[in-house]
Amino acid sequence: MSKRKDRRNAGQAFESVVAAVAPRDEEADDAPFFAHDAAPVSDDVLAASPDLSRVLTTQNDGRRELTKMKRFRFQLLHQWICENVPPSCRVADIGGGKGLLTYLLNQSGFTATTIDPIHQTLPAKYKDLTAGRQVRIAETETVSRLDLPFAPNMARDFDLLVALHAHGCNIALIDAAARFGKGFLVLPCCIIDEPLRPPPGMHWLQCVAEYAKGKGFAIKPFRLNFKGQNIGLYAAARPGGAG
Ligand SMILES: C[S@@+](CC[C@H](N)C(=O)[O-])C[C@H]1O[C@@H](n2cnc3c(N)ncnc32)[C@H](O)[C@@H]1O
Protein backbone atom coordinates (compact mmCIF):
# COMPACT_ATOMS: atom_id res chain seq x y z
CA MET A 1 0.00 0.00 0.00
CA SER A 2 1.31 3.50 -0.87
CA LYS A 3 2.27 5.89 1.93
CA ARG A 4 -0.44 8.32 0.81
CA LYS A 5 -3.11 5.60 0.96
CA ASP A 6 -1.76 4.50 4.33
CA ARG A 7 -2.03 8.06 5.65
CA ARG A 8 -5.58 8.40 4.26
CA ASN A 9 -6.67 5.10 5.87
CA ALA A 10 -5.12 6.10 9.19
CA GLY A 11 -6.88 9.48 8.95
CA GLN A 12 -10.23 7.82 8.26
CA ALA A 13 -9.72 5.38 11.13
CA PHE A 14 -8.94 8.29 13.44
CA GLU A 15 -12.07 10.17 12.28
CA SER A 16 -14.28 7.17 12.98
CA VAL A 17 -12.82 6.71 16.46
CA VAL A 18 -13.38 10.39 17.19
CA ALA A 19 -16.96 10.14 15.88
CA ALA A 20 -17.61 6.97 17.86
CA VAL A 21 -16.44 8.35 21.18
CA ALA A 22 -17.67 11.93 20.84
CA PRO A 23 -20.48 12.82 23.27
CA ARG A 24 -23.73 13.41 21.35
CA ASP A 25 -24.92 16.27 23.54
CA GLU A 26 -22.00 18.61 24.03
CA GLU A 27 -23.89 20.57 26.70
CA ALA A 28 -24.21 17.58 29.00
CA ASP A 29 -21.13 16.78 31.10
CA ASP A 30 -21.97 13.12 31.36
CA ALA A 31 -23.23 12.62 27.82
CA PRO A 32 -23.08 9.02 26.53
CA PHE A 33 -20.21 8.16 24.21
CA PHE A 34 -22.66 6.45 21.94
CA ALA A 35 -26.17 5.12 22.32
CA HIS A 36 -27.84 1.75 21.80
CA ASP A 37 -28.87 2.58 18.25
CA ALA A 38 -25.54 4.10 17.18
CA ALA A 39 -23.62 2.75 14.20
CA PRO A 40 -21.41 -0.22 15.08
CA VAL A 41 -17.62 0.05 15.17
CA SER A 42 -16.30 0.64 11.66
CA ASP A 43 -14.07 -1.84 9.84
CA ASP A 44 -11.20 0.68 9.95
CA VAL A 45 -11.34 0.92 13.72
CA LEU A 46 -11.40 -2.86 14.00
CA ALA A 47 -8.52 -3.27 11.55
CA ALA A 48 -6.37 -0.86 13.57
CA SER A 49 -6.68 -3.00 16.71
CA PRO A 50 -4.45 -6.07 17.07
CA ASP A 51 -7.06 -7.63 19.38
CA LEU A 52 -10.22 -6.92 17.42
CA SER A 53 -9.01 -7.21 13.82
CA ARG A 54 -9.34 -11.00 13.96
CA VAL A 55 -13.10 -10.70 13.44
CA LEU A 56 -12.61 -9.24 9.95
CA THR A 57 -12.46 -11.43 6.86
CA THR A 58 -10.44 -10.72 3.73
CA GLN A 59 -12.67 -10.04 0.72
CA ASN A 60 -11.82 -11.09 -2.88
CA ASP A 61 -10.40 -7.64 -3.62
CA GLY A 62 -8.11 -7.79 -0.57
CA ARG A 63 -10.17 -5.47 1.64
CA ARG A 64 -10.72 -6.63 5.23
CA GLU A 65 -14.30 -6.11 6.34
CA LEU A 66 -17.33 -7.57 8.05
CA THR A 67 -19.73 -9.50 5.87
CA LYS A 68 -23.35 -8.43 5.32
CA MET A 69 -25.35 -8.22 8.53
CA LYS A 70 -28.70 -9.75 9.52
CA ARG A 71 -31.04 -9.75 12.53
CA PHE A 72 -31.59 -12.45 15.14
CA ARG A 73 -28.96 -11.64 17.75
CA PHE A 74 -30.28 -14.15 20.32
CA GLN A 75 -30.29 -17.05 17.88
CA LEU A 76 -26.83 -16.16 16.56
CA LEU A 77 -25.33 -15.82 20.03
CA HIS A 78 -27.02 -19.06 21.11
CA GLN A 79 -25.42 -20.78 18.11
CA TRP A 80 -21.99 -19.32 18.91
CA ILE A 81 -22.19 -20.44 22.54
CA CYS A 82 -23.27 -23.96 21.51
CA GLU A 83 -20.26 -24.18 19.19
CA ASN A 84 -17.71 -22.79 21.65
CA VAL A 85 -18.80 -23.58 25.21
CA PRO A 86 -19.47 -26.99 26.80
CA PRO A 87 -23.16 -27.48 27.73
CA SER A 88 -22.13 -28.39 31.28
CA CYS A 89 -21.61 -24.62 31.75
CA ARG A 90 -24.10 -22.85 33.99
CA VAL A 91 -24.86 -19.61 32.18
CA ALA A 92 -26.01 -16.28 33.66
CA ASP A 93 -27.72 -14.22 30.94
CA ILE A 94 -27.21 -10.81 32.51
CA GLY A 95 -29.49 -8.05 31.22
CA GLY A 96 -31.26 -10.83 29.35
CA GLY A 97 -34.54 -8.94 28.86
CA LYS A 98 -37.33 -11.34 27.88
CA GLY A 99 -35.10 -14.36 28.34
CA LEU A 100 -34.98 -15.73 24.80
CA LEU A 101 -31.23 -16.46 24.94
CA THR A 102 -31.76 -18.29 28.23
CA TYR A 103 -34.64 -20.25 26.70
CA LEU A 104 -32.61 -21.29 23.64
CA LEU A 105 -29.62 -22.31 25.78
CA ASN A 106 -31.84 -24.41 28.02
CA GLN A 107 -33.27 -26.10 24.92
CA SER A 108 -29.67 -27.02 23.99
CA GLY A 109 -28.88 -28.63 27.34
CA PHE A 110 -27.33 -25.69 29.18
CA THR A 111 -28.58 -24.56 32.57
CA ALA A 112 -29.18 -20.86 32.04
CA THR A 113 -30.78 -18.11 34.11
CA THR A 114 -31.77 -14.59 33.13
CA ILE A 115 -30.67 -11.84 35.53
CA ASP A 116 -32.53 -8.60 34.80
CA PRO A 117 -34.24 -6.19 37.18
CA ILE A 118 -37.20 -5.70 34.85
CA HIS A 119 -39.45 -8.72 34.75
CA GLN A 120 -40.55 -9.70 31.25
CA THR A 121 -42.17 -12.79 29.83
CA LEU A 122 -40.75 -14.86 26.99
CA PRO A 123 -41.66 -13.79 23.45
CA ALA A 124 -44.56 -15.67 21.86
CA LYS A 125 -42.38 -16.90 18.99
CA TYR A 126 -38.92 -16.75 17.45
CA LYS A 127 -37.35 -17.75 14.17
CA ASP A 128 -35.43 -21.02 14.17
CA LEU A 129 -32.57 -20.17 11.80
CA THR A 130 -31.59 -23.78 11.14
CA ALA A 131 -35.11 -24.91 10.22
CA GLY A 132 -35.93 -21.54 8.61
CA ARG A 133 -39.33 -21.30 10.32
CA GLN A 134 -41.13 -19.53 13.15
CA VAL A 135 -41.39 -21.49 16.39
CA ARG A 136 -44.10 -20.73 18.96
CA ILE A 137 -43.31 -20.58 22.66
CA ALA A 138 -46.30 -21.65 24.76
CA GLU A 139 -47.63 -19.06 27.21
CA THR A 140 -47.03 -21.56 30.00
CA GLU A 141 -43.27 -21.78 29.28
CA THR A 142 -40.93 -19.90 31.60
CA VAL A 143 -37.20 -19.64 32.22
CA SER A 144 -35.33 -19.35 35.48
CA ARG A 145 -35.03 -15.63 36.31
CA LEU A 146 -33.60 -13.38 38.97
CA ASP A 147 -35.56 -10.14 38.62
CA LEU A 148 -32.77 -8.14 40.20
CA PRO A 149 -29.88 -5.92 39.12
CA PHE A 150 -26.70 -7.93 38.64
CA ALA A 151 -24.61 -8.10 41.81
CA PRO A 152 -21.09 -9.62 41.98
CA ASN A 153 -22.03 -12.38 44.44
CA MET A 154 -24.53 -13.79 41.93
CA ALA A 155 -21.54 -14.95 39.85
CA ARG A 156 -20.78 -17.68 42.38
CA ASP A 157 -23.61 -19.88 41.06
CA PHE A 158 -22.56 -19.80 37.39
CA ASP A 159 -19.63 -20.79 35.16
CA LEU A 160 -20.14 -18.27 32.36
CA LEU A 161 -21.40 -14.70 32.73
CA VAL A 162 -23.01 -13.47 29.49
CA ALA A 163 -23.99 -9.88 28.73
CA LEU A 164 -25.66 -9.19 25.38
CA HIS A 165 -26.05 -5.40 25.30
CA ALA A 166 -26.51 -5.45 29.07
CA HIS A 167 -26.96 -1.95 30.36
CA GLY A 168 -24.08 -0.75 32.55
CA CYS A 169 -22.99 -4.30 33.45
CA ASN A 170 -19.87 -4.96 31.37
CA ILE A 171 -17.19 -3.87 33.81
CA ALA A 172 -19.03 -5.25 36.85
CA LEU A 173 -19.36 -8.58 35.10
CA ILE A 174 -15.64 -8.75 34.23
CA ASP A 175 -14.76 -7.84 37.83
CA ALA A 176 -17.06 -10.58 39.14
CA ALA A 177 -15.66 -13.13 36.67
CA ALA A 178 -12.12 -12.28 37.82
CA ARG A 179 -13.04 -12.39 41.50
CA PHE A 180 -14.87 -15.72 41.40
CA GLY A 181 -12.84 -17.48 38.68
CA LYS A 182 -15.60 -17.54 36.04
CA GLY A 183 -15.64 -17.15 32.27
CA PHE A 184 -17.43 -14.27 30.57
CA LEU A 185 -18.87 -13.25 27.24
CA VAL A 186 -19.83 -9.64 26.56
CA LEU A 187 -21.25 -7.83 23.55
CA PRO A 188 -20.96 -4.26 24.80
CA CYS A 189 -23.14 -1.55 23.34
CA CYS A 190 -23.41 1.81 25.09
CA ILE A 191 -21.16 3.13 27.84
CA ILE A 192 -23.99 4.67 29.89
CA ASP A 193 -23.76 3.79 33.62
CA GLU A 194 -20.40 2.03 33.21
CA PRO A 195 -17.84 2.97 35.88
CA LEU A 196 -15.03 3.92 33.50
CA ARG A 197 -14.43 5.84 30.30
CA PRO A 198 -11.89 5.05 27.57
CA PRO A 199 -8.87 7.33 27.31
CA PRO A 200 -8.98 9.76 24.37
CA GLY A 201 -8.68 7.97 21.02
CA MET A 202 -9.70 4.57 22.35
CA HIS A 203 -13.03 2.97 21.43
CA TRP A 204 -15.25 1.65 24.25
CA LEU A 205 -15.00 -1.90 22.94
CA GLN A 206 -11.21 -1.75 22.95
CA CYS A 207 -11.36 -0.27 26.44
CA VAL A 208 -13.42 -3.26 27.67
CA ALA A 209 -10.92 -5.64 26.02
CA GLU A 210 -7.97 -3.85 27.67
CA TYR A 211 -9.72 -3.89 31.03
CA ALA A 212 -10.30 -7.65 30.82
CA LYS A 213 -6.71 -8.28 29.73
CA GLY A 214 -5.57 -6.23 32.72
CA LYS A 215 -7.53 -8.66 34.90
CA GLY A 216 -5.54 -11.54 33.43
CA PHE A 217 -8.09 -12.86 30.91
CA ALA A 218 -7.16 -14.10 27.42
CA ILE A 219 -9.72 -12.46 25.14
CA LYS A 220 -11.23 -14.15 22.12
CA PRO A 221 -13.10 -11.57 20.00
CA PHE A 222 -15.83 -12.72 17.65
CA ARG A 223 -18.39 -11.14 15.37
CA LEU A 224 -22.01 -12.17 14.91
CA ASN A 225 -23.88 -11.55 11.71
CA PHE A 226 -26.59 -9.19 12.98
CA LYS A 227 -27.16 -5.48 12.62
CA GLY A 228 -25.89 -3.26 15.45
CA GLN A 229 -23.23 -3.75 18.11
CA ASN A 230 -22.22 -7.23 17.08
CA ILE A 231 -18.65 -7.70 18.31
CA GLY A 232 -18.28 -10.02 21.30
CA LEU A 233 -15.41 -10.68 23.68
CA TYR A 234 -15.21 -14.15 25.15
CA ALA A 235 -12.87 -15.32 27.88
CA ALA A 236 -12.81 -18.73 29.51
CA ALA A 237 -12.26 -18.84 33.26
CA ARG A 238 -8.65 -17.96 34.11
CA PRO A 239 -6.55 -21.03 34.87
CA GLY A 240 -6.21 -21.35 38.63
CA GLY A 241 -9.13 -18.93 39.20
CA ALA A 242 -11.18 -19.04 42.39
CA GLY A 243 -13.74 -21.42 40.78
C1 LIG B 1 -30.51 -2.90 25.85
S2 LIG B 1 -31.38 -4.02 26.87
C3 LIG B 1 -30.76 -5.58 26.25
C4 LIG B 1 -31.70 -6.69 26.52
C5 LIG B 1 -31.32 -7.99 25.78
N6 LIG B 1 -30.07 -8.56 26.22
C7 LIG B 1 -31.29 -7.73 24.30
O8 LIG B 1 -30.24 -7.87 23.67
O9 LIG B 1 -32.36 -7.38 23.78
C10 LIG B 1 -30.52 -3.85 28.41
C11 LIG B 1 -31.09 -4.73 29.51
O12 LIG B 1 -30.28 -4.56 30.66
C13 LIG B 1 -31.14 -4.62 31.78
N14 LIG B 1 -30.44 -4.03 32.92
C15 LIG B 1 -30.32 -2.72 33.25
N16 LIG B 1 -29.58 -2.60 34.38
C17 LIG B 1 -29.25 -3.85 34.76
C18 LIG B 1 -28.51 -4.38 35.86
N19 LIG B 1 -27.96 -3.58 36.78
N20 LIG B 1 -28.36 -5.71 35.96
C21 LIG B 1 -28.90 -6.53 35.02
N22 LIG B 1 -29.61 -6.09 33.95
C23 LIG B 1 -29.77 -4.76 33.83
C24 LIG B 1 -32.37 -3.88 31.33
O25 LIG B 1 -33.48 -4.16 32.14
C26 LIG B 1 -32.51 -4.39 29.92
O27 LIG B 1 -33.33 -5.55 29.84
Tell me if 52 sits within 8 A of 206, measured CB to CB.
Answer: yes
Selected residue with higher pLDDT from 161 and 240:
161
Report yes or no on 137 lying in a domain: yes
Find the CATH number of the domain harbouring 182: 3.40.50.150
**Cα 163 to middle of ligand 1, angstroms:** 8
| Mean pLDDT, rounded, for 77-89 | 97
Report yes or no on 82 lying in a domain: yes
**Cα 94 to middle of ligand 1, angstroms:** 7
- pLDDT for 134-191, tens place per residue? 999 999 999 999 999 999 999 999 999 999 999 999 999 999 999 999 999 999 999 9
Candidates 167, 171, 184, 192: which one to mutate for ligand 1, based on the most atoms within 8 Å of Cβ? Answer: 167
**Cα 9 to middle of ligand 1, angstroms:** 36
Report yes or no on 30 lying in a domain: no
Domain count, the chain: 1
**Cα 13 to middle of ligand 1, angstroms:** 30
State how beta strands 220-223 and 231-235 pair: antiparallel
Tell me if 129 sits within 8 A of 72, measured CB to CB.
Answer: yes
Exposure b/e, 54-67, CB count within 10 A at least 16 = b: ebbeeeeeeeeebe
Say what the pLDDT of residue 227 is: 86
As a whole number of angstroms, the distance between CA 23 and CA 28 comes to 8
Domain containing residue 58: 36-235
Residue with CA closest to ligand 1 atom 9 = 97
Residue with CA closest to ligand 1 atom 1 = 165
- pLDDT for 6-36, tens place per residue? 545 544 544 444 344 333 333 333 334 445 5
Report yes or no on 4 lying in a domain: no
Candidates 34, 80, 93, 116: which one to mutate for ligand 1, based on the most atoms within 8 Å of Cβ? Answer: 116
Helix (H, G, I), strand (E, B) or coil at 133: strand
- pLDDT for 96-113, tens place per residue? 999 999 999 999 999 999
Question: What's the full length of the chain, in residues?
Answer: 243
As a whole number of angstroms, the distance between CA 230 and CA 75 comes to 13
118 lines ligand 1 (CB under 6 A): yes
Say what the pLDDT of residue 168 is: 96
Report yes or no on 136 lying in a domain: yes
Q: Which atom of ligand 1 is nearest to the CA of 101?
A: 6
Helix and strand numbers (H, E) in the chain are 6, 11
Report yes or no on 15 lying in a domain: no
Report yes or no on 45 lying in a domain: yes
Q: Is the pTM of this model over 0.75?
A: yes
As a whole number of angstroms, the distance between CA 175 and CA 239 comes to 16
pLDDT at 54 over 80: no
Report yes or no on 1 lying in a domain: no
152 lines ligand 1 (CB under 6 A): no
As a whole number of angstroms, the distance between CA 12 and CA 62 comes to 18
